[in-house]
Amino acid sequence: MAQIKVHDKNFIPYLSAAEIDTQVQRVADEINRDYSNKKPLFIAILNGAFIFAADLFKKIDVEAEICFIKLASYKGIKSTGKVITAIGLDAEIYGRDVIIVEDIVDTGKTLSQFLPQLEHQHPASLKITSLLHKPEAMIHPIKIDYLGFTIPNKFVLGYGLDYDGLGRNIKEIYQLV
Ligand code: 5GP
């Protein structure tokens, strides 16, 4: 794997497809073990998590459902900050064992705003799986229950993650030079 250029920036190889697959399998093993008598509902957050969610879900061998949502952020009329809403969340959350599927937790802002909205709907349990986590960037502490990789605070792309629309179809994860 050599250095690549996406738009105006250069990226170097960081995680190989084989390394990613090993950790996705380990995360799936942990979930399969913990949910052996349950029927979890996975909620994958688009766009970035689509490849992780698909690869992970193929390795889940307990009875499970999956749905995909988008989080849209807009400026509320009255509030000063941004408000996050879920688009496409049509699944019944009440009483379900929910697992949120994220590509990367960076500052933790997105999930810290979205999780209370889900808790409001009284799931039986609410856990988070994320492929990547940048602890150095964390502002809003989020507990990631099933984590693929801890990574340094550098921009990454590939395996579903983009840089300005491009790079999602790259099989490995690259890091900004
Ligand atoms: P947070 O709210 O935790 O700061 O941001 C999470 C979202 O920011 C992720 O779901 C992802 O879409 C985006 N993001 C954060 N860090 C990166 C990165 O290094 N690369 C890419 N492509 N997206 C990132």
What are the boundaries of each domain within the chain?
4-75+83-176
Collapsing DSSP to helix, strand or coil, 117 comes out as: helix
CA of 37 to the centre of ligand 1 (A): 33
**Percent of the chain predicted with pLDDT > 70:** 95
**Tell me, which fold does domain 4-75+83-176 have in CATH?**
Rossmann fold (3.40.50)
Determine whether the shortest distance from the Cβ of 157 to ligand 1 is under 6 A: yes
pTM over 0.75: yes
**Percent of the chain predicted with pLDDT > 90:** 89
Query: 153: cis peptide before it, omega within 30°?
Result: no
Determine whether the shortest distance from the Cβ of 14 to ligand 1 is under 6 A: no
pLDDT digits (tens, 9 = 90+) for 137-156: 999 999 999 999 999 999 99
Q: DSSP letters along 27-73, please?
A: HHHHHHHHTTT---EEEEEETTTHHHHHHHHHT--SS-EEEEEEEEE
Determine whether the shortest distance from the Cβ of 161 to ligand 1 is under 6 A: yes
**Cβ atoms 145, 165 nearer than 8 A:** no
